[in-house]
Structure 1
């Protein structure tokens, strides 16, 4: 019995400390809008806290492509993503943060992974992490999202989605295929565009590639685009792009990589320009597809040069 009484006293003595810890954690969560929520570049599911006045979907810039800003204030904004498609999708939204005068201050990119068909996922943008959206001393009544009628302090400017099963995975767990395939940011000069494709063997066995990656181009609604000429290499478009190496058989051991390149011009002459938002890429004919978002502005040329796979490290 004495041991039990000693244990009760010990627990009683620790309760205030535990309570103090809970209060400290709670205070940390309440201290800033967005604390404990998504950082810039990510999104969280579940219920987001109130960031400001609720916004109607008809507010300027509040909704686009299944993404809707539901509330906005000086410190943060809340949004929701709805997947109207038939497969789970990774949805990426670009938001533009606005000044009190309505000018663009910055952009925030949020990706919500694996949104189920018909599901709606909520997320939050912490504006405090990218600087104040409204200059110090600005008239509070003129701040966007303050209920002044000027609209939210952030708007949806671009929405892109890819099937989760085909999403590029440049980092994290190795895909079931054992291969990572992704595109880099590319380079542009005087209407010439060059974008790198990267392939890395993250599996446990050697994989052999030979020749050129296979591409299918898609429009913003994921519909196939016809009428594009796929060229072997980039020589017909421009010299010195690094996309003209001859095809060769490459055995990629675990950890090794290869690269290719896409080359095009956005020259516009007579005719309708061709714009391909997405490209479904296969490293070789029977490889698992990966959907990238190259935003190909092919102009009226309708040509895309594709480089053969070469070793990432330059070895033969």
Structure 2
């Protein structure tokens, strides 16, 4: 979960790595909120779903909700939170992803989510009566209409930058949204030469799997290619040398199964990636739910069409 910020603590565009539970995940930019409670009643931090891993919903009403992001770590971090919008009856309607960039250690940054029917986060075609605060029992004590479900934080120095200014390395690396079917998982890593010189990639990206605390995960076999997992996933191409001119790109495909049998399931929410051996690392969040399989297939870099 990466900057194009103009100040030390500003909000960046959200990177939607987690799928929405409705028609799609809204991806919008955050902005500092006004005074505390501007959206409605102040909410207790102890209420279920209002606080998670440094992100807290502080106030909410029918039109909007305010939240704050606190960096409890020791280095600047890009924090991505996924919020679920709730109907008046408490059912999940859609997910909203927010990313706040370059949160300094110990700092707290505020943000705001529009919940009104005309707001950018309200699902198209949703019943007006289902809008938070519009149904029976709306008002004080009726619930905030939104909750925090997932928080991911990556060091700002290693954050993926799919848009904005070109990183100092001249290489833009980020993860795609992924696909899942019958326990088979497929996620693409995208590499773009946004610099001014030709860059050559050859073979496979180097991966390090990390847990929720960014600690290395041991005991998982990193396979060259995806044939041992499944065929036809795009991870089967042989390694080749690819010269990427400015503006050109390449793609690697990760493939795994989340089968769970005997043993402790392994989850690797974070992956540190080096596109080439001497490249600066980029930390992406593909949410690897490896089950008890102990294997991850890594596809070789293949040429990808340039963006229009």
Q: Give the TM-score, by structure 1 length.
A: 0.82
Counterpart of 1:298 in 2: which secondary structure?
strand
Gaps of 5+ in 1: 1-37
Retained in 1: the 8 A contact 2:88–2:131? yes
- Match for residue 138 of structure 1 among 117, 135, 139: 135
Q: Structure 1 residues 290-299 or 150-159, which shifts more?
A: 150-159
Q: Is 1:45 the equivalent of 2:32?
A: yes
> Are the structure 2 counterparts of residues 234 and 58 from structure 1 closer, same or farther at C-alpha, using a change threshold of 3 Å?
same
Match of 1:274 in 2: 266
CA distance in 1, matches of 2:286, 2:133: 39
The structure with more strand, counted as a fraction of residues: 2
CA distance in 1, matches of 2:134, 2:204: 58
- Match for residue 226 of structure 2 among 229, 234, 251: 234
Q: Is 1:158 the equivalent of 2:138?
A: no
CA distance in 2, matches of 1:288, 1:137: 49
Q: Give the TM-score, by structure 2 length.
A: 0.84
What's the C-alpha RMSD, in Å, of the aligned pairs? 1.9
Pairwise CA distance, 1:147: 1.9
Match of 2:44 in 1: 56
- Match for residue 180 of structure 1 among 164, 168, 172: 172
> Are the structure 2 counterparts of residues 192 and 40 from structure 1 closer, same or farther at C-alpha, using a change threshold of 3 Å?
closer
Retained in 1: the 8 A contact 2:88–2:134? no
CA distance in 2, matches of 1:171, 1:283: 18
Per-residue Cα deviation, 1:53-107 (whole angstroms, up to 9, x for no partner): 1111012211001001110101100010000011111111111111222111222
CA distance in 2, matches of 1:126, 1:66: 21
Counterpart of 2:291 in 1: which secondary structure?
coil
Retained in 2: the 8 A contact 1:48–1:124? no
Larger radius of gyration: 1
Retained in 1: the 8 A contact 2:262–2:292? yes
CA distance in 1, matches of 2:279, 2:72: 28
The structure with more helix, counted as a fraction of residues: 1
> Are the structure 2 counterparts of residues 75 and 301 from structure 1 closer, same or farther at C-alpha, using a change threshold of 3 Å?
same
Q: Is 1:309 the equivalent of 2:301?
A: yes
Match of 1:106 in 2: 94
Counterpart of 1:97 in 2: which secondary structure?
strand
Q: Is 1:290 the equivalent of 2:282?
A: yes
> Are the structure 2 counterparts of residues 136 and 72 from structure 1 closer, same or farther at C-alpha, using a change threshold of 3 Å?
closer
The count of aligned residue pairs is: 272
Counterpart of 2:44 in 1: which secondary structure?
coil
Retained in 2: the 8 A contact 1:48–1:123? no
Pairwise CA distance, 1:138: 2.4
CA distance in 1, matches of 2:204, 2:87: 47
> Are the structure 2 counterparts of residues 287 and 135 from structure 1 closer, same or farther at C-alpha, using a change threshold of 3 Å?
closer
Gaps of 5+ in 2: 1-13, 15-25, 123-127
CA distance in 2, matches of 1:136, 1:248: 57
> Are the structure 2 counterparts of residues 137 and 66 from structure 1 closer, same or farther at C-alpha, using a change threshold of 3 Å?
closer
Q: Structure 1 residues 66-75 or 217-226, which shifts more?
A: 217-226
CA distance in 1, matches of 2:230, 2:35: 50
Pairwise CA distance, 1:136: 8.8
